Structure 1
Amino acid sequence: MSTVKEAVDVQVPLRTAYDQWTQFEEFPNFMEGVEEVRQLDDRHNHWTTSIGGVRREFDTEIVDQLPDDRITWRSVGGDTRQRGSVRFERLDDTHTRVELTMDVEPTGVAEKGADALGVIDRRVKGDMRRFKDYIEREGGDTAGWRGRIRPGDPGSPL
């Protein structure tokens, strides 16, 4: 499993950065290779990706979510194995650090080769730069989901 970490400082308040990140269906606007994200309920999303000619569909489950602090997820079912978290840190009234950590297990020869060449790492770093550009240009969504999901809640595996 490969671990990728990247942080960006965005010129928006903490709440704006967090609320925008909870708008999962907007991820294709700044995530390369993500064709669609459909939010199934407060905890689950269905992803369609196309990376290096390999198309995948998989589901993710949010296992921990604390507004203005963090969102932690894992893939469920299917061939894609990943987990990660995004954390939000207030720097001042108008700046926020967004830090993403992902553990990805490439499957198949093409994905393992891409990982060995650093493609996954570069893609995540690019996605974070594009998130910064997107949120600073668009101003962010003000209607983010503010609910709390805790490990051990019904439906949570932890």
Structure 2
Amino acid sequence: MSMVQQAIEVSAPVHTVYEQLAAFENYPRFMTGVRQVTPIGADQTHWIMDVDGKRREFDAQIIERSMDERVSWSTMEGPLLAETITLRSMGETKTQVVAQLEADVAFLMPSDRHGQESLNRRLKADLTTFKGLVESGVLGGRPIPNAAASSKQMAGRSHSLLPGLSMETPSPATVAARIRNRTGPTPRPGAGWDNGAAGTAPMGGRSTGSDDWGNGMINEEERG
């Protein structure tokens, strides 16, 4: 299991930044390997990802959407992928975004011998792409789905994000543990990692033939 952390400053008001991160449909635009994210309830989403040219599907639980402060989510079953994104206003037109991402790199990047380092670079690239989209206006002005859930908060623990920045926030590991220890309705049919075959094209328009999906997650694609 690996956890990485990156921070970036976005030249936009904190509420503008929060709106785009709280709308999970935006994630395919900046998160590597994500093809589609669809809300399936007030606090759940269904993800389709491309992993080394293979389609993977899973459901994720939204743990927190605290207005202008934090967004946290985690996979509900299968290989771990969890993220906590914390926002800090740096003035009227600047926002610091701190992202913590935890993943099972053996599934996420099975052919990468430097999983932790690659995961760190990937998170940095994703934040850089997000910054560019927000600052250029490509992301912005879209309504937040299930806005009533924005006030949802969990009792957090003190966790150091960056030197000099300490905020009450659950780590991705804590987020994932809450999900996996929670009892609730059985996930809908098709939830979890898809081991079936598909012939749809992954991100980037490359077509793939039908085969059995192996274990894994985000596609290791270079941004350029």
- The answer to whether TM tops 0.5 is yes
Q: Deviations over 1:22-55 (max 9, x none)?
A: 1211211122211111111221111111133343
- The verdict on how the C-alpha distance between 1:125 and 1:69 changes in structure 2, with shifts beyond 3 A counting, is same
Highest CA radius of gyration, 1 or 2?
Answer: 2
Deviation at 1:86, TM superposition (A): 0.3
Contact 1:80-1:107 at 8 Å conserved across structures: no
Q: Equivalent residue of 2:109, what SS?
A: helix
Amino acid at match of 1:149: K
- Tell me, in whole angstroms, the C-alpha distance in 2 between the residues paired with 1:39 and 1:122: 28
Query: Which residue is 2:96 aligned to?
Result: 97
- The verdict on how the C-alpha distance between 1:32 and 1:82 changes in structure 2, with shifts beyond 3 A counting, is closer
Query: Which residue is 1:120 aligned to?
Result: 119
Deviation at 1:100, TM superposition (A): 0.6
- Identify which range, 140-149 or 82-91, moves more after superposition: 140-149
Contact 1:62-1:149 at 8 Å conserved across structures: no
Q: Equivalent residue of 1:21, what SS?
A: helix
- Tell me, in whole angstroms, the C-alpha distance in 2 between the residues paired with 1:91 and 1:31: 24
Q: TM-score, normalised by structure 2?
A: 0.62
Query: Which residue is 1:151 aligned to?
Result: 154
Query: Which residue is 2:56 aligned to?
Result: 56
Amino acid at match of 2:92: D
Query: Which residue is 1:18 aligned to?
Result: 18
Q: How well do the aligned residues superpose, as a CA RMSD in angstroms? A: 2.4
Q: Equivalent residue of 1:120, what SS?
A: helix
Q: Equivalent residue of 1:92, what SS?
A: coil
- Tell me, in whole angstroms, the C-alpha distance in 2 between the residues paired with 1:53 and 1:142: 30
Q: Equivalent residue of 1:121, what SS?
A: helix
- Identify which range, 141-150 or 4-13, moves more after superposition: 141-150
Contact 2:21-2:71 at 8 Å conserved across structures: no
Q: TM-score, normalised by structure 1?
A: 0.85
Query: Which residue is 2:140 aligned to?
Result: 140
Q: Deviations over 1:51-104 (max 9, x none)?
A: 333431111101222111111111102x33122200010000000011110111
- Any stretches of 5+ residues in structure 2 without a counterpart? 156-178, 184-224
Amino acid at match of 2:151: R
Bigger share in strand: 1
Q: Deviations over 1:98-126 (max 9, x none)?
A: 11101111344x72442624322221111
Query: Which residue is 1:31 aligned to?
Result: 31
Contact 1:23-1:141 at 8 Å conserved across structures: no
Query: Which residue is 1:111 aligned to?
Result: 109
Amino acid at match of 1:106: V
Amino acid at match of 1:91: M
- Tell me, in whole angstroms, the C-alpha distance in 1 between the residues paired with 2:6 and 2:22: 18
- Tell me, in whole angstroms, the C-alpha distance in 1 between the residues paired with 2:30 and 2:83: 18
Query: Which residue is 1:129 aligned to?
Result: 128
- Calculate percent identity across the aligned residue pairs: 26
